[in-house]
Amino acid sequence: MNRFSENGTPVIGVNAIPMIELQTRSCQIRFPVKENLGWVIDQVENQGVGIIDPEAKPEFKLIVPRIPFPIILQVLDLFYREANLIQKELEVWITLEKGVWDIYIPEQVNRATRIFDIESFSAEKSIVAIIHSHGIFPAIVSNVDNKFEIYGFVYGVVGSLFTGKPEIKFRFGWNKEYMPLEVNDVIAIT
């Protein structure tokens, strides 16, 4: 059995913690579950599917290079410029294709009601991270973010723009499960 599968492998890990092991086009991750707790336990204990590994701990690893810091600076610059013009959130997708980094700006719609075909786009390009701005507000994940950050990507939020100390926070989100990430896990700062 491939431990890190694109569909998610149920695992009972260290201290009997139910987890999922998942591989996307850009990362491998093992993370504890809350929303899918019953499913993981059922798969491992009753269905005989999944893995019991008392050594398994939460982990995150990009299988592509970390995002270069100059790309993040470009994103911040874009957020500064656009926040002044449109006075609303802005979302960008950072992609990597054949060693070339790009910042893609999808059609901007109200995040509370947005519907887009991210799966079709990600089949064409490797999305490494989806980052959005909270403008002048802190980089705190909202209930709206929880609703949409479920597609198996690294998600980032930038906040406190125009304060002299912008914040950026990252997490991985899949199927209503989330794992906070360190900035250094995602960005090549040095």
> Strands 151-159 and 177-181: what pairing?
unpaired
Q: Which domain holds residue 176?
A: 67-188
Read off the pTM: 0.88
pLDDT given for residue 48 in this prediction: 85
Whether 80 and 119 share a structural domain: yes
- On whether residue 76 sits in a domain, the answer given is yes
Looking at the DSSP assignment, which residues form a beta bridge with residue 91? 132
Q: Are strands 27-32 and 59-62 parallel, antiparallel or unpaired?
A: antiparallel
Task: Tell whether 46 and 76 lie within a shared domain.
Answer: no
Helix residue ranges, H only, 91-182? 118-124, 143-148
Question: Is 103 a domain residue?
Answer: yes
Which distant-in-sequence residues (6+ apart) come within 8 Å of 38 by Cβ?
none
39, 62, 85 — which closes off a domain? 62
Domain boundary among 40, 62, 84: 62
Mean pLDDT within 4-20:
91
Report how many domains make up the chain: 2
Note whether 51 and 79 are same-domain residues: no
Strand partners, 30: 21, 59
Domain for residue 159, yes or no?
A: yes
Flag whether 3 is in a domain.
no
**94 and 145 together in one domain:** yes
Binned at pLDDT 50, 70 and 90, residue 113 comes out as very low
Here the CATH number for the domain that contains residue 166 is 3.40.140.10
Asked if the structure places residue 90 within a domain, the reply is: yes
Look at residue 171 and tell me if it is in a domain: yes
Tell me: do 75 and 146 sit in the same domain. Answer: yes
Helix (H, G, I), strand (E, B) or coil at 162: coil
Do 115 and 92 reside in the same domain of the chain?
A: yes
122 shares its domain with 154: yes
User: Could you tell me if residue 2 is inside a domain?
Assistant: no
Residues 6+ apart with CB under 8 A from 119: 151
Q: Are residues 50 and 95 in the same domain?
A: no
Together in a domain, 129 and 36 = no
In-domain check, residue 54: yes
Residues 82 and 98 occupy one common structural domain: yes
Residue that wins the pLDDT comparison between 134 and 180: 180
pLDDT digits (tens, 9 = 90+) for 129-174: 999 988 888 999 988 888 888 888 999 999 988 888 999 999 999 9
Top-confidence residue, 108 or 75: 75
